[in-house]
Structure 1
């Protein structure tokens, strides 16, 4: 499969002060044509990794390969990489068409080729009628589309995007997420995208690499990350998660039993656990919890007191007191919510073994 790898990070490290490693030991293969998102909290090393690939930062150790060639000594403008930033970085004194023509003229293309490509790029982002406007005359969403067209106009094999939608409002962001995703599907270009917004990462990507403290914690398709996190950091960072602390009582293959602080026992899927007697963190998604009669068939059954209803339009989050935790959340579609439920009610609830994952205990930051 090595021939479908476009970018390879091999043992890449980055330190700014010679002591602290912002990127620890990055080994990562990016496949041709894939949409890969680097996701993580600020300071986790995702943007630094992107900037090393772009050539704006130099690795302290290790090597980055593009199509089998080492990039370590290649300046940014020779890397055949398109870039889209959060602040658009358009030239204010140039029209939209001139902004798009710029990367082509520095590459020495002929005028007829340039005008043909600019025309193509404008229609790709549906801005044909804006070619003679200046960036200052465009909305944020239009400017972002111009920035996108400029990154694609010279038909690079790789496009890097650093929080490109960070400055847009929620509705426009969601619209642009779909536009970028569909453009990617149409053009088949390889995209490496950086964001700290997990919803954006899940919506757009073929694979997501979750960064934390300079290391990739897990790299997988969105659904796998959400449904099958490898460790507690990923479970907590991606989507909403109920965490229960306990210790391992026994393990039988894929299944284990965990005792919680107050003595309750939970049957769980053993994913990332140590020896019997060691601390374990249980992870359960709020939408996987069954209430009242729906919980009768569940192997893990407890009772919980309803503390608060949080209405979110299509679903309701119910904050409950369960197993000594006052912030245990249950998520229910509005259509399935029992209208009789009230704050203060004590109700039975449960979950199945495959929906509770036994993971490493959460380390204090």
Structure 2
């Protein structure tokens, strides 16, 4: 028997395509492996194909071509109720006429699990989500966050191989949403769950995931850890979609291994990390995160230094966003901690900006 260093994936999409009208592909040649115990988020704008992928995995949609596997089992024609998959929806989908306990017992009854074992499983999961004292309440008597925890518990109570979550926190306010992100992540770690999570919220994806698959136009643009997506975007779309980002159009003057010299604006040049498949003479889009740009004295030891005009201060509590004009771009932003900003600065001032070679990337031109 041949030994392999990689574990067999729990979920496998192999050459999957999906069209609804026979002409336009919503999902294009998807190949994706998800390991047991991973938390993988499908992230992208509306219409990018992420939700369609989740619905095909759940069994509510059928691939036009290609195969989907859960372990060794091909799922293409298997009905949803036979897939041993838990599902959490944005609208909770709880039965309003049933108590919390009855909602949790329901998936166990449909699987013909004995009453004694079912009651034990429900009590255990209610303790996990800290809602044991609410067992006999109806969903309408719970807060939004409590209802979401019940919906999550119902997806977990029968111990599925896989849990799918479709924008499950979209209806919650910001503070509760952030609390639930951590709560779901902790449950994932404690119970060893395998989770496929769909969202269009990039900060949510970065907070919760082991890996994130960034979708656009039916294609995964990059699948990677949150850190690598943010620090090493594969292309301009990923750089723009993940986090805040400044862009400057330019042209590659020279290239050496993974770095290049780029001209931009009127006579400006910078060193940058070079993206894939770029060569001397190519158009490029420079990508610089606002927090990596240094202002005035902070730029002194940096390789790249420029003059800019300060147009606007945007106060955000712990930091300020400064809107500047650099090389013809009047939407160039710098993030500065409140206590580090010179109090004498005002709109209209000429300022100096700088950044390190390692913090600017030359990517494909959009």
| TM-score tier (shorter) | over 0.9
- Among candidates 127, 131, 135, match of residue 131 of structure 1: 135
Distance 2:324 2:260 in 1: 25
- Among candidates 328, 337, 340, match of residue 333 of structure 1: 337
Distance 1:273 1:249 in 2: 15
Deviations 1:237-261 (A, max 9, x none): 0000000001111101111011114
Deviation at residue 274 of structure 1 after TM alignment: 2.5
Q: Name the residue aligned to 1:109.
A: 113
Task: Within 5 Å, give how 1:1-365 maps onto structure 2.
Answer: 1-362=5-366
CA contact (8 A) 1:37 1:205 kept: yes
Q: Secondary structure, in 3 states, of the residue corresponding to 2:177?
A: helix
TM-score by length of 1: 0.98
Distance 1:273 1:310 in 2: 37
Distance 1:263 1:334 in 2: 32
Deviations 1:242-288 (A, max 9, x none): 00001111101111011114221111111235232221000000000
Give the unaligned 5+ runs of structure 1.
none
> Runs of 4+ in structure 1 displaced over 2 angstroms?
1-4, 272-275
Deviation at residue 224 of structure 1 after TM alignment: 0.7
Deviation at residue 70 of structure 1 after TM alignment: 0.7
TM-score by length of 2: 0.97
Distance 1:330 1:154 in 2: 49
RMSD of aligned residue pairs (Cα, Å): 0.9
Deviation at residue 3 of structure 1 after TM alignment: 2.9
Distance 2:117 2:6 in 1: 34
Q: Secondary structure, in 3 states, of the residue corresponding to 1:168?
A: coil
Deviation at residue 4 of structure 1 after TM alignment: 4.1
Distance 1:274 1:116 in 2: 60
Give the unaligned 5+ runs of structure 2.
none
Distance 2:165 2:142 in 1: 21
Deviations 1:49-85 (A, max 9, x none): 0000000000000000101211112111111100000
Deviation at residue 2 of structure 1 after TM alignment: 4.3
